[in-house]
A and B are shown apart, each in its own frame.
Chain A
Amino acid sequence: MDAAIACEGLEKTYKNGVKALEGVSFKVRPGEIFGLLGPNGAGKSTTVRILATLTRPDGGTASVAGCDVIGNPAGVRLRIGLVAQASGVDKWATGRENLTLQAHLMRVPAGEIPSRVKTLLQWVDLTGPADRIVKTYSGGMKRRLDLAMGLVNEPTVLFLDEPTTGLDPETRAALWRDLKRLRQERNLTVLLTTHYLEEADHLCDRLAIVDHGKVVVEGTPAELKARISGDTVTLEVGGESARAAALLKPLPGVLETIADGSRAIVRADRGASAMPLLITTLERAGITVSSSTLSRPTLDDVYLHHTGRRFQGEGEAGSEPAA
């Protein structure tokens, strides 16, 4: 198998006229954690719904685990696990009952079900509350049960649609640990959607930024950060920031300079090696640099570069610091 997930030119317009996807294309290799990153309404969930056979695309093609989502949806369903944004567990059933029903529906051989359910409950650390109804579970417990539900058929591809939205930071960190453990233990392909830059940076082998129903850029987090040119050098220059900015602008490797109060902010190729030149230039002109900092581009810079907007303030991630 070449790609675990391949989609090409996916289009979807909802009945109310909302254009959710306008040609989404990307490929996910077997065994990798692939992130779809974008603000709410960018088309992440619609993409997952198409790949999980819950909705049909209006145009384009997609295959998951070697099965075409339109030609062979039954084949796709047997090979995937879906952990949707709205949990999808039955709150009036116990954890064990939820898993057992899911196993039946996923065509797990009846004889294997009890032992598989038991193993999964252990794996997500829900053995104790296994026979309590889910209504009594905490948010984190419910999410771990969701994850177990998605794994009950030992899927080839697992979809996680905003798995940590609405979770407190501690629970989120615990879920990240689970996902990393999952990747170590099973050779599973994961498609993860998120609107948390930090999460994408932390978990994904590769990611695609989705905006207005299109993939605007795709690559590893490191690649994406390296691809947007330059580092940010911030120089503390007292009252001379405007003159400093003007002086530095023509230097080789400098892409952009901004005077920001007492600081001159310089975006430069290979900031670390440019720094000595920047400082000596200023010193020679009689401007004292009292401090300097160098920062690597973050995914936020990547996002800004490709969409023309800051990521922060989008969606409900208001309190989330940009990575």
Chain B
Amino acid sequence: MKAFLSDTWFILLRHLRTTVRIPIWIAITLIQPVIWLTIYGQLFRRVVEIPGFGSASYIQFLTPGVVIMTALFGSAWSGMGIIEDLTDGVMDRMLATPVHRAALMSARVLHAAITVAVQSVIILLFGMLLGARIAGGLPGFLAILSLGSLLGAGMSALSNGLALITRREETLIAVINFFGLPLTFLSTAFMASDLMPGWIRALARANPVNWAVVASRDAMLGQDWLGVAKAAAMLLGFMLVSVWISTQAFRAYRRAS
């Protein structure tokens, strides 16, 4: 256990270091929320006037949606790092050391969670600047970060698993493009649930992205804390299942190599 924790820590440091050393990543992280919030905020501003939308300010409605969408897309690319490590021989070099095998996976998942939390803070602050109010206060703020991080951790684990099975960047890109937008639009990130067609509403209920969006919005408004806790528990479950899948994929990778 001590080896697992210390290995996870040192490998996590490696991933965090890499992230801050790729300037384009920092630039995109800062610019993307600005684009989403300003453009979408302007474009769909009058959506709230549709009878039955149920929210008075679209930016208020949109901000938690953008937080979760960024969490989804940011962490879905996690597997690219694994493929890079496979290609560069970093994975082999590490596997030839006594490193705790699970630490190689857990460090990446933690890294995704931390990255999502940092991005979420930036988006929330920018949303507040544009007029979103966090009625839920600090607990609401922290709850949104946690929900985003849990979703991000789960998604990164799935992405890592896929990367280890396919070992091809092209496949990973195709899968992320195929699932990313549907997962986003089959949620209430942009549209109130009451205005969705029935079948989309049904699908959204089974979508972890939607769990996170709905709960984040409640946390923002400071309402239905029980629902927020329930969503957090479901996202935790989703994350654990994803991590389990990724460790199985890692085991399969090591057997097959």
Q: Do A and B come from one complex?
A: yes
- Mark A residues whose CB is within 8 Å of B: 15, 49, 52-56, 74, 77-78, 80, 82, 84-93, 97, 101-102, 104-107, 133, 149
Instruction: Mark contacts of B99-135 with chain A using CB atoms, 8 A cut-off: 1 yes-contact digit, 0 otherwise.
Output: 1000000000000000000000000000000000000
Known contacts A80-B96, A105-B97, A149-B93: A86-B18 contact under CB 8 Å: no
Across-interface contacts of B22 in A (CB, < 8 A): 92
Across-interface contacts of B96 in A (CB, < 8 A): 52-54, 77, 80, 82, 84
Q: Which of B11, B92, B255 contacts A101 (CB 8 A)?
A: B11
Listed A/B pairs (23) with beta-carbon separation below 8 Å: A52-B96, A54-B92, A77-B96, A77-B98, A78-B98, A82-B92, A82-B93, A82-B96, A84-B93, A88-B92, A89-B88, A90-B14, A90-B88, A90-B90, A91-B88, A92-B22, A93-B14, A97-B14, A101-B11, A101-B14, A104-B7, A105-B97, A107-B98
Contact of B92 with A102 in the complex, beta carbons under 8 Å: no
Across-interface contacts of A74 in B (CB, < 8 A): 98
Q: How large is the interface on B (under 10, 10 to 19, 20 to 34, 35 or more residues)?
A: 20 to 34
Q: How far is the CA of A105 from the CA of B100 in the complex (A)?
A: 8
Q: How far is the CA of A197 from the CA of B7 in the complex (A)?
A: 40
Measured CB to CB, the closest approach of chain B to A126, in angstroms, equals 17
Across-interface contacts of A15 in B (CB, < 8 A): 256
Across-interface contacts of B97 in A (CB, < 8 A): 77, 102, 105-106
Measured CB to CB, the closest approach of chain A to B146, in angstroms, equals 28
Q: Which of B14, B21, B99, B257 contacts A55 (CB 8 A)?
A: B257
Q: How far is the CA of A52 from the CA of B89 in the complex (A)?
A: 14
Among B19-35, those with CB < 8 Å from A are 21-22
Q: Which of B6, B17, B92 contacts A104 (CB 8 A)?
A: B6
Main secondary structure of the interface of B (DSSP, over half): helix
Across-interface contacts of A91 in B (CB, < 8 A): 88
Q: How far is the CA of A56 from the CA of B14 in the complex (A)?
A: 29
Measured CB to CB, the closest approach of chain B to A295, in angstroms, equals 40
Query: Which residue of A has the minimal Cβ distance to B94?
Result: A105
Across-interface contacts of A52 in B (CB, < 8 A): 96
B10 close to A (CB within 8 Å): yes
Measured CB to CB, the closest approach of chain B to A294, in angstroms, equals 45
Contact of B93 with A88 in the complex, beta carbons under 8 Å: yes
B38 close to A (CB within 8 Å): no
B56 close to A (CB within 8 Å): no
Q: How far is the CA of A82 from the CA of B92 in the complex (A)?
A: 9
Among B60-115, those with CB < 8 Å from A are 87-90, 92-99
Q: How far is the CA of A53 from the CA of B97 in the complex (A)?
A: 9
Known contacts A86-B88, A88-B88, A91-B88: A97-B17 contact under CB 8 Å: yes
